[in-house]
Structure 1
């Protein structure tokens, strides 16, 4: 015997289906000829922040694609209330650093379409808040620093258009966990994606006959498209049908902050130790940035690039870092990805919130430590820590001991 609430849910489902059929029938009547053209919805599935490691998916290419799509609105992966606070997920580089600034420069409407469970429900289901990292982030796993394996370097803009490339996601979404108590992530994913689709549909209804571009994690793409497929007044098209921007378009949309992000992510973050860095791509980004004028930050990054490539020795690198620190003043990096300025780290770099002078000292200390000169390294680290808050100092020394000194 069904419980009352299951009966109510079934009744609601039947009502919704009947209402949809009635709506469709009404649209098919005499008034159908006067119906507006459908709204085009283009769902670009992304791998969050992979634009920073893959040249064929780079930030300027994403911006050039959005420009080519000529959208009336851009839907982004963030909840409406968080977006209203100017609060984004840490790792959605493509949202807060590409799509949102582009839309604001062009006067394009932004539609936040994500959903996430209330913090109380997160703690109930997972035992923690999902947006609060520990004082020292782990290198991997939950709250770990983001880095990419070698295959991501070959990713291209329209990777997610092919459903076959996301078969594992579809299979996971359709298969309950072996133990139902472990099934919460899948169930939340299904509910979340459904509500994302409904918010996209609402954005489409607000722009009849127009174009809606959606920039969202690729895991959601095909389920969203399937949900929207039978939505009246919506025409879903694949991003690849619009064509790939050419080299001229990419160059026209390149920006110093994109070049800075590529260099900082690959050279200063944990990506630098991953063994998966496209040094040619990073080098071109740094070359183009330096062409607009060298600075303390570009000299630091150039030194780090040449050291990682083995083109300069340890002592030369230390001397260069010391020179950068001496002349950096209070300069900061053009881009560092930091969300919480009270911390010393970022989502991809244990030391991401250091200014240029302190970062140069830290890199000199890293080289001295690796060369066996622990005393010099300790002195440089002390100099780096001076002026930081107690919390930042504790994190700085914690990461140093765990990730640099101890290994």
Structure 2
């Protein structure tokens, strides 16, 4: 069949087009992953790593998603580790205020496996928390007061962790923590990769314990479509930026952790840092909380004597009513403690009575101390009363009265701490 020259020409063009390879789609831009390694809750003791600075960094990073250190199952029911202040009290509220997706990326062995391997459940503290070790009340040594927001960006500062992860225990039967760490961190990395794939060309910020940072980055280094960058490459927020991101709940957390928890007895408190936080709270108006924190700060610094402190505590107790602290870190409200404070779940009135009793006990007036302790315990549940008196007998009643002129807390500077 003859088609003429025009038909032949068109047929030829069609054949060429069919034989030519299809144009390749441009590959999507990689997703930027920023792994911010943190020391859990150290933001509360270091001005160079303070909550407002981390808040300002997250704002500067402009993430499409924030990955947090909690399992998806626990996160779905609003359950967090007690001590991950930077997660539940900072990153999660920040993301929700700004409409940013939250991606829980942690993994834990089932409780049955925890009991099989360790002989206990890892999320069930004893009735009285120890001062150190597993389930110990958290405090920080002096070096943490100088911690920087980008501390974990320097591989040399994580060399100890890297060595531990790569070195089997001398006895294989003691190697479970390391083996679980490797598996846990691997799964964290895979969940981060999934979050990155869900945001092609975007930016994902990971807020995770520095213990995991380098292994996560190594696992993701060759992942397709992912570009890992260091947090410090985004630039450090200025002091003005940090100030603009400060919040009353951050100020209350700094003051409470350092003045009411075991940190106060550690000898490692940046009083200028704590004083600025408390002053910012007071600027919004005096409350029973701020008055109690002010007395505690001045007493710890040795700026007021015991008699004045007792009188002011008693006045606060008489006026506080049912006022509570703005931030306590309490997870289990059936307990009297928190993860850093043996008496963290007391309201302001009871805390004022407890502090008056502490001062009376240290001054040798055991009868007055017992009376105020009884008043503090009244109305608490039997479990809370038992914990209150247990901590009192263990941590306060046996304490040696401080030397005259030495600020309260300095005499206990040898209290074991953990970072």
Name the TM tier (shorter chain).
over 0.9
- Deviation, structure 1 residue 205: 0.2
Which of 181, 184, 187 in structure 2 is aligned with 1:192? Answer: 184
- Deviation, structure 1 residue 111: 0.2
Which of 53, 58, 67 in structure 2 is aligned with 1:61? Answer: 53
Task: Tell me the number of residue pairs that the alignment of Structure 1 and Structure 2 aligns.
Answer: 379
Which of 220, 229, 245 in structure 1 is aligned with 2:221? Answer: 229
Which of 265, 268, 273 in structure 2 is aligned with 1:273? Answer: 265
Unaligned 5+ runs, structure 2: 1-20, 400-419
Secondary structure in 1 aligned to 2:102? Answer: strand
CA distance in 1 between counterparts of 2:90 and 2:136 reads 23
Corresponding residue number in structure 1 for 2:291? 299
Corresponding residue number in structure 1 for 2:141? 149
- Deviation, structure 1 residue 35: 1.2
Corresponding residue number in structure 1 for 2:96? 104
Corresponding residue number in structure 2 for 1:397? 389
Corresponding residue number in structure 2 for 1:170? 162
CA distance in 2 between counterparts of 1:325 and 1:398 reads 22
Q: What do residues 117-143 of structure 1 show as CA deviations (whole Å, max 9, x unaligned)?
A: 000000000000000000011111110
- Deviation, structure 1 residue 334: 0.2
Pair 1:365-2:351 in alignment: no
- Deviation, structure 1 residue 304: 0.3
Pair 1:338-2:361 in alignment: no
Which of 339, 345, 350 in structure 2 is aligned with 1:353? Answer: 345
Which of 130, 138, 148 in structure 1 is aligned with 2:130? Answer: 138
Pair 1:253-2:245 in alignment: yes
Pair 1:51-2:43 in alignment: yes
- Deviation, structure 1 residue 406: 2.0
CA distance in 2 between counterparts of 1:210 and 1:142 reads 39
Say if 1:35 and 1:276 are closer, same or farther in 2 by CA, change over 3 A: same
Corresponding residue number in structure 2 for 1:115? 107
CA distance in 2 between counterparts of 1:123 and 1:146 reads 23
Say if 1:299 and 1:116 are closer, same or farther in 2 by CA, change over 3 A: same
CA distance in 2 between counterparts of 1:62 and 1:323 reads 37
Secondary structure in 1 aligned to 2:332? Answer: coil
Say if 1:185 and 1:282 are closer, same or farther in 2 by CA, change over 3 A: same
Secondary structure in 2 aligned to 1:331? Answer: coil
Q: What do residues 80-121 of structure 1 show as CA deviations (whole Å, max 9, x unaligned)?
A: 000001000000000000000000000000000000000000
Pair 1:288-2:280 in alignment: yes
Say if 1:239 and 1:370 are closer, same or farther in 2 by CA, change over 3 A: same
CA distance in 2 between counterparts of 1:98 and 1:87 reads 15
Secondary structure in 1 aligned to 2:36? Answer: strand
TM-score, normalising length: structure 2: 0.90
Pair 1:376-2:368 in alignment: yes
- Deviation, structure 1 residue 32: 6.3
Unaligned 5+ runs, structure 1: 1-28
Secondary structure in 2 aligned to 1:212? Answer: strand
Say if 1:111 and 1:32 are closer, same or farther in 2 by CA, change over 3 A: farther
CA distance in 2 between counterparts of 1:263 and 1:69 reads 28
CA distance in 2 between counterparts of 1:216 and 1:290 reads 32
CA distance in 2 between counterparts of 1:354 and 1:213 reads 36
Corresponding residue number in structure 2 for 1:17? none
Corresponding residue number in structure 1 for 2:308? 316
Superposition RMSD in Å: 1.0
CA distance in 1 between counterparts of 2:213 and 2:288 reads 41
Secondary structure in 1 aligned to 2:70? Answer: coil
When you count helix as a share of all residues, which structure comes out higher? 1
4+ residue runs of structure 1 moved beyond 3 angstroms? Answer: 29-33
